[in-house]
Amino acid sequence: MSKKSDGLESGTTPITLLTPATVKVLVFTLAYLGVATIWAIGAGNSEFIFYIAVMAILIGAVTFVHSRVRLTTGVLWALSLWGLAHMAGGLVPVPDSWPINGDIRVLYSLWLIPDILKYDHVVHAYGFGTTTWVCWQGLRSVLVQHTELRPTFGLMVLCAAGGMGFGALNEVIEFAATLLMPETNVGGYLNTGWDLVSNLVGTTVAAILIRVSN
């Protein structure tokens, strides 16, 4: 595994952030965030105005991480698509005939398999699976400077634990939303439990895929 093949640079070599590939990801992300912002303000959806602000902070965080470890274009697209799925989940309405959990008819409430699997579960699994991938790339970029690094079982457990930790942070943000706003679509303790289970499924699958693909 060479530094060049992984898109990694030495600690003193500046990394160009705005390549043609990253510009495409950035433009795509800013475009749907702009639409989501207008949509949320127009609908008076204070919950998702809050989440859009969180997204802006996260974009800054990803930019910082990318500047240090050079995330692959694939993981940048995966993160951007996660953001799109999140925005759609809270803003896109579903027809009255579609089965939902609760009273708010948006994608996040939609049962994909009635009483078994929600859109929300899929987004959680996908998102924190992607976060596990980010953790692996960050860990690899640090350690590869000192040794040849393979995705061993122990390292994959560490990356999955990192993904689960970020998933727990997401639950803290959702809890803050319930305190700051009188009406949200966050759900109660049962919803939090299923969110964490979905996170675990996503991080585990991601760790397995990283392990077998390397």
Domain segments of the chain: what residues? 20-213
Which CA distances in Å does 201 have to 50, 63, 160, 197, 209? 27, 27, 10, 6, 12
- In angstroms, the CA 147 to CA 189 distance is 44
Beta-bridge mates of residue 111: 118
Token pair belonging to 176: 């803050």
pLDDT of residue 189: 67
- In angstroms, the CA 140 to CA 119 distance is 32
What is the pLDDT tens value at each position of the chain, 214 positions in all? 344 444 444 343 445 778 999 999 999 999 999 999 999 999 888 888 988 999 999 999 999 989 988 899 999 999 999 999 999 999 999 999 999 998 889 999 999 999 999 999 999 999 999 999 999 998 888 777 666 677 778 788 888 888 888 888 877 777 777 766 666 666 676 777 788 888 889 999 998 998 888 7
| Residues 180/50, Cβ–Cβ less than 8 Å | yes
**Number of other CB atoms surrounding residue 20 within 10 Å:** 7
**pTM score, whole prediction:** 0.77
pLDDT of residue 175: 75
